[in-house]
């Protein structure tokens, strides 16, 4: 619809038409703010349309004060972001209109995705004298839509009042919540355009969270060399030594209490935010599985960093690749899991060559970066002695994974070989559990997989024949070099 027909049909703050979203609390919170922002833009248009006066200060701030944003009563991702803005506003001495201005910018950034027609009055005003080409919304050639710019928002917030404009510019600074959390980014406009000509783009995480209503789950890419680690098992499937389980419970406890600890003044004085843990022990003893289970219990995603895509022979590239991962994970309640981390977090060497110096710089950078990360970082290694002592001093928890005992191996076998995959004869089970072969949990799973394939092929309902079980044992032991 064009602005004239909308205006003559009575488009205003009281009777503004708006497409209905679904009835979820998230959608209702979004709808309330988008209605409010669209109404405010329409009121500005009504006031300024046909104005012959350019240099007089428009009462832009008065609109924000008179048309206060709606109260947020719902508990949803959008309301959490709004409350974060409110908390920052209450903590600092900001003008009374500042929070309403933040809400307006937030709504404007969402409009191209959810309600582009709410910007129609602004577009029309930019084509009308004396405001022609001063509001400068950015035009998308691909979508044929207008994208609000910093200048668009400043015009609505401050009009031509310089003092208000300078204060409102802080909303677009790198230290503001919008930039820190990645809610918005502002691509640098081509020279010689001013910085205020930058479009207001919604970050990919918040597009997923606010527009799609889904948690942001990035896929593996050249800018994010990590993959979501998902485990099908539950804690009752994880069998480990008692001291290992106790150490893992400490991590679970921190995840439960991390918010309370961050807000506790006495704790904040004595410790940094975040938690760092080292898992070490032989391969196949459950380090990766337990990292996934920690995240599963806390309801947090675990991202397994692909070190082969991170480590580079070119100077500075390794740090650059890691920084991209840490930046994307910052403030998102993600768990970062560095599997077989010796390659990255190994011991520093004597600086005999330039390569040694750069390698040591990498370790020093990593040391500082994991200490500054405000979430949970888990490093995995086969040997604790491979890790630089500067790292181990900074771990809140060092979890040792030992080889399973005979009793634990029996538990692992019995938990796998049951129901239609039961052993027809458990005569070979005792030898399989013995110290003679010292099988790990991962090796037992491989043996089960070998047998399960053949049970499915036979499909006779008789379970696992002894000869199949024995063949599975021999195959796995030869593969591991435990049998000639």
Tens digit of pLDDT for each residue in 191-222?
Answer: 888 888 899 999 988 999 899 888 888 888 87
Q: Is the residue at 123 inside a domain? A: yes
Co-location of 235 and 363 in the same domain: yes
pLDDT at 292 over 80: yes
Strands (E), 163-289: 184-185, 201-202, 226-229, 275-280
Mean pLDDT, residues 353-361: 56
Mean pLDDT, residues 398-419: 94
pLDDT at 376 over 90: yes
- Give 476 or 386, the one with higher predicted confidence: 476
Give the pLDDT confidence score for residue 464 in this predicted structure: 94
Is 291 in contact with 335 (CB distance < 8 Å)?
Answer: yes
Q: How remote is the C-alpha of 288 from its chain's centroid?
A: 20
Is 289 in contact with 238 (CB distance < 8 Å)?
Answer: yes
Give the pLDDT confidence score for residue 299 in this predicted structure: 93
Give the pLDDT confidence score for residue 253 in this predicted structure: 96
3-state secondary structure of 180: helix
Q: Is the residue at 159 inside a domain? A: yes
In whole angstroms, what is the distance from residue 34 CA to residue 107 CA? Answer: 6
The residue assigned the tokens 């930019």 is 126
The residue assigned the tokens 């404007």 is 108
CATH of the domain at 433: 1.10.8.60
Count how many Cα atoms sit within 13 Å of the Cα of residue 110 in the half-sphere of its side chain.
29
Co-location of 202 and 329 in the same domain: no
Is 434 in contact with 406 (CB distance < 8 Å)?
Answer: yes
Q: Is the residue at 219 inside a domain? A: no
What separation in angstroms does the CA of 137 have from each of 33, 49, 94, 263, 439? 20, 17, 27, 41, 66
In whole angstroms, what is the distance from residue 305 CA to residue 309 CA? Answer: 9
Give the pLDDT confidence score for residue 484 in this predicted structure: 65
In whole angstroms, what is the distance from residue 206 CA to residue 81 CA? Answer: 10
Q: Which of 81, 86, 144 is nearest to 116 (CA)?
A: 144
pLDDT at 350 over 60: no
Give the residue from 348, 378, 400 where a domain finishes: 400
Q: Is the residue at 216 inside a domain? A: no
Co-location of 388 and 424 in the same domain: no
Q: Is the residue at 221 inside a domain? A: no
Q: Is the residue at 287 inside a domain? A: yes
Co-location of 177 and 263 in the same domain: no
Residue 72 in tokens: 């947020």
Give the pLDDT confidence score for residue 90 in this predicted structure: 72
Structure letter (DSSP) for residue 224:
B
Co-location of 273 and 173 in the same domain: no
User: How would residue 8 be classed by pLDDT, with cut points 50, 70 and 90?
Assistant: very low
Q: Which of 403, 322, 326, 400 is nearest to 361 (CA)?
A: 322
Tell me the backbone φ, ψ of residue 42, rounded to 5 degrees.
Answer: -65, -40
Report the residue count for the chain: 484
pLDDT at 347 over 60: no
Structure letter (DSSP) for residue 198:
-
pLDDT at 9 over 70: no
Co-location of 127 and 256 in the same domain: no
Co-location of 388 and 412 in the same domain: no
Co-location of 131 and 25 in the same domain: yes
Give the pLDDT confidence score for residue 1 in this predicted structure: 32
Give the pLDDT confidence score for residue 143 in this predicted structure: 56
What separation in angstroms does the CA of 225 have from each of 7, 81, 221, 228, 309? 51, 28, 6, 10, 6
In whole angstroms, what is the distance from residue 74 CA to residue 77 CA? Answer: 9
Is 287 in contact with 279 (CB distance < 8 Å)?
Answer: yes
Give the pLDDT confidence score for residue 470 in this predicted structure: 93
Give the pLDDT confidence score for residue 18 in this predicted structure: 38
Co-location of 146 and 271 in the same domain: no
- Tens of pLDDT, residue by residue over 246-267, are 999 999 999 999 888 888 888 8
Give the pLDDT confidence score for residue 54 in this predicted structure: 47
Co-location of 372 and 469 in the same domain: no
Q: Is the residue at 217 inside a domain? A: no
Domain total of the chain: 3
Structure letter (DSSP) for residue 176:
S
Give the residue from 211, 235, 256 where a domain finishes: 211
For 270-330, the DSSP string reads HS-SSEEEEEESSTTSSHHHHHHHHHHHHT--EEEE-HHHH--SSTTHHHHHHHHHHHHHT
| Whole-number average pLDDT of the chain | 83
Domain residues for 60?
3-211
Sort 390 into a burial class: Cβ within 10 Å, 0-12 / 13-18 / 19+: middle
CATH of the domain at 393: 3.40.50.300
Co-location of 25 and 147 in the same domain: yes
pTM attached to this predicted model? 0.72
Co-location of 192 and 232 in the same domain: no
In whole angstroms, what is the distance from residue 285 CA to residue 400 CA? Answer: 10
Give the pLDDT confidence score for residue 353 in this predicted structure: 52
Q: Is the residue at 52 inside a domain? A: yes
pLDDT at 140 over 70: no
Is 100 in contact with 68 (CB distance < 8 Å)?
Answer: yes
pLDDT at 23 over 90: no
Residue 428 in tokens: 């070979």
Rounded percentage of the chain residues whose pLDDT exceeds 90: 42
- Tens of pLDDT, residue by residue over 53-100, are 544 445 577 888 888 899 887 788 899 899 989 888 776 778 889 999
Among 197-206, 383-392, 475-484, name the most confident range.
197-206
Give the pLDDT confidence score for residue 51 in this predicted structure: 59
Cβ atoms < 10 Å from Cβ of 10 = 10
- Give 247 or 363, the one with higher predicted confidence: 247
User: How would residue 12 be classed by pLDDT, with cut points 50, 70 and 90?
Assistant: very low
In whole angstroms, what is the distance from residue 140 CA to residue 160 CA? Answer: 26
Give the pLDDT confidence score for residue 14 in this predicted structure: 36
User: How would residue 129 be classed by pLDDT, with cut points 50, 70 and 90?
Assistant: low
Give the residue from 400, 415, 449 where a domain finishes: 400
């Amino acid at each position: 619809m064009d602005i004239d027909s909308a205006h003559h049909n009575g488009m205003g703050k009281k009777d503004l038409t708006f497409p209905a979203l679904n009835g979820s609390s998230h959608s209702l919170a979004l709808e309330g703010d988008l209605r409010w922002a669209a109404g405010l833009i329409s009121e500005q248009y009504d006031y300024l349309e046909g104005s012959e006066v350019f240099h007089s200060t428009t009462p832009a701030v008065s609109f924000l004060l008179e048309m206060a944003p709606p109260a947020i009563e719902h508990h949803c991702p959008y309301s959490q972001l709004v409350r974060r803005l409110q908390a920052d506003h209450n903590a600092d001495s900001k003008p009374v209109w500042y929070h309403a201005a933040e809400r307006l910018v937030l709504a404007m950034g969402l409009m191209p995705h959810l309600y582009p027609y709410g910007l129609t009055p602004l577009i029309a005003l930019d084509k009308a004298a004396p405001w022609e080409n001063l509001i400068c919304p950015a035009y998308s050639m691909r979508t044929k839509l207008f994208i609000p710019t910093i200048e668009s928002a400043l015009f609505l917030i401050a009009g031509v009042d310089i003092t208000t404009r300078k204060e409102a510019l802080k909303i677009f600074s790198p230290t503001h919540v919008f930039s820190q959390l990645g809610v918005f980014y502002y691509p640098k406009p081509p020279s010689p355009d001013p910085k205020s000509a930058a479009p207001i783009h919604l970050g990919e995480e918040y597009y997923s969270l606010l527009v799609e209503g889904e948690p942001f789950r990035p896929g593996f890419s050249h800018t994010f060399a990590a993959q979501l680690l998902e485990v099908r098992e539950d804690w009752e499937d994880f069998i480990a030594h008692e001291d290992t389980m106790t150490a893992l419970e400490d991590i679970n406890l921190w995840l439960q209490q991390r918010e309370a600890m961050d807000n506790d003044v006495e704790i904040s004085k004595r410790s940094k935010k975040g938690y760092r843990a080292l898992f070490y022990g032989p391969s196949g003893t459950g380090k990766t599985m337990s990292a996934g289970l920690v995240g599963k219990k806390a309801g947090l995603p675990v991202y397994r960093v692909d070190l082969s895509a991170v480590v580079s022979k070119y100077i500075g590239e390794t740090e650059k690749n890691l920084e991209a991962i840490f930046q994307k994970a910052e403030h998102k309640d993600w768990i970062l899991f560095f599997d077989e981390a010796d390659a990255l977090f190994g011991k520093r060497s004597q600086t005999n060559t330039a390569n040694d110096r750069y390698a040591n710089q990498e370790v020093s950078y990593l040391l500082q970066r994991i200490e500054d990360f405000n979430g949970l970082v888990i490093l995995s290694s086969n040997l604790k002695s491979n890790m630089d002592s500067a790292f181990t001093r900074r771990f809140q928890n060092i979890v040792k994974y030992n080889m399973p005992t005979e009793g634990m191996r029996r538990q692992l076998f019995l938990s796998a070989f049951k129901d239609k995959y039961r052993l027809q004869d458990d005569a070979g089970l005792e030898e399989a559990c013995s110290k003679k072969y010292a099988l790990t949990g991962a090796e037992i799973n491989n043996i089960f997989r070998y047998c399960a394939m053949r049970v499915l092929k036979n499909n006779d309902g008789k379970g696992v024949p002894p000869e199949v079980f024995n063949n599975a044992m021999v195959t796995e032991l030869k593969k591991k070099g435990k049998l000639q």
